[in-house]
Amino acid sequence: GVCTALDNVEARLYVDQRCLFYRLPMLESGTLGTKGNTQVVVPHLTENYGATRDPPEKSIPICTLKNFPNQIQHTLQWARDWFEGEFKQAAEEVNSYLVSSTEQYMDSLQPNSKLETLRLVRRTLVDERPTSFEDCVTWARLTFEKLFNNQIRQLLHNFPPDQVTSSGTKFWSGSKRCPKVLQFDIDEKDPDAGMRNHLDFCMAAANLRAAMFGIKGNFDEAYFRKVLQDIIVPDFTPAEGVKIAANDAEEEKSGGDAPMGDNTDAEANDILASLPKPSELAGFRLSSIDFDKDIDDHMLFVTACSNLRALNYTIPCEDTHRSRAIAGRIIPAIATTTALVTGVICLELYKIVGTARKELTLEAYKNGFVNLAIPFMTLSEPTAPAKTKSVLKGKEWNWTAWDSLDMNLGNITMGEFMDHFEREYNLEISMLSYGVSILYSFFANKKKVEERKAMKMTDVIFSISKKEFPPNQLFIILEVIANDKETDEEVDLPYVKFRFG
Which residues does the annotation mark as catalytic? 63
Please enumerate in sequence order all residues whose Cβ is within 8 A of that of 365, keeping only pairs 6 or more positions apart, or say none. Answer: 40, 42, 45, 46, 348, 351, 381, 382
Question: How many other C-beta atoms can be found within 10 angstroms of the C-beta atom of residue 336?
Answer: 12
4: Cβ contacts below 8 Å, ≥ 6 apart:
12, 15, 26, 27, 28, 29
Sequential DSSP letters for 273-333 = HHSPPGGGGTT---------TTSHHHHHHHHHHHHHHHHHTT-----HHHHHHHHTT----
How many Å apart are CA 457 and CA 453, to the nearest integer? 9
Within 8 A by CB and 6+ apart from 352, the residues are 1, 25, 27, 40, 42
d(CA 186, CA 137): 13
3-state secondary structure of 469: coil
Q: In what order do the strands lie in the sheet with 26-32?
A: 2-3, 26-32, 35-41, 367-371, 376-380
Q: How far apart are CA 344 and CA 28, in angstroms?
A: 11
Which neighbouring-strand residues pair with 441? 431
